[in-house]
Copies of this chain bind each other. A is one copy, B any other.
């Protein structure tokens, strides 16, 4: 009767998921009348499995002491295919060139009739159409709320709350690193200095190219195009410009006219684009700092905007938790 979960990837987000499931144990039992149990977890080095369920606190202390599991991991797919479970939470490191191990894990889970919850952008940006068909053929769900915008529930908003709307386009700030840099440029800092500050605060990587060249935003554009509009596309279909060419002078000139510059991903049936845009101050897309925000344009309700933290351990874990709860709600008869 329980919903049995495997966590693939036990870094920051994987640990957050274990913690979130532990925190909501009672709430889940009261709401659904059954438990959500972690029955296995693994990363690139080790694995742990118990068909009776694993205590999240033990997983976290194992990891803090060195390794999540006591079995060495040889092959994630072989491990997954050796155990019984209902849902794979796939949060291993992303690789947008090949899809990485995550792509193999997701294919294996869906092919074997297991639901998948993931925030792993590589597999989704490279193979959304294939994975979506695989889920449908096997009668299971693939959910990925946290892959676009972290804690910002843009996908569930479009899917559920805006169900009666025809969505004409989505425009959004989908990368917190770029938004932090552009916000600091609003305050008068040159690009290089704003980037350095972002790196010092841990908002940007040592090699920030993935964020500042718009690659990360483009992956999210692909995911939204596929999931909200049903456009069968991948990374190569997106027109991408980043923020490296934006000067202090351009930001100052925009500001004089009461505008700011933001890196916007735009998705509509005839446009997939990532580019810096002028946004008027006071507009819902003019948020500052590391926030993500998306504006959904609809035929009846007009524009609806949603914002939230685009990254962070518990923020991303909570998006995964909401997907797990949605699967529990719509699959009352699991097992």
| Contact surface of A with B, Cβ cutoff 8 Å | 20, 23-24, 27, 151-153, 156-157, 160-165, 183, 186, 281-284, 286-289, 291, 293, 298, 300-309, 312, 314-315, 317-319, 321-322, 324-326
Chain B residues whose CB sits within 8 angstroms of the CB of A322 once the complex forms? 161-165
Do B281 and A302 touch (CB < 8 A)?
no
Q: What are 11 of the A-B contact pairs (CB < 8 Å)?
A: A20-B300, A152-B304, A153-B157, A157-B306, A163-B326, A283-B287, A284-B284, A293-B305, A300-B321, A302-B315, A305-B306
Chain B neighbourhood of A27, CB < 8 A: 164
**Considering the chains assembled together, what is the distance between the CA atoms of A282 and B157 in angstroms?**
23
CB distance from A59 to the nearest CB of B (A): 18
The residue of chain B having its C-beta at the shortest distance from the C-beta of A316 within the complex is B301
Chain B nearest CB, measured from A164 CB (Å): 4
Which chain B residues lie closer than 8 Å to A161 at the CB level?
153, 156-157, 160-161, 322
Which residues on the B side are within 8 Å of A298 (C-beta)? 318
Known interface pairs A24-B164, A160-B156; A287-B284 also in contact (CB < 8 Å): yes
Q: Across the two chains, which residue of chain B brings its CB closest to A183?
A: B282
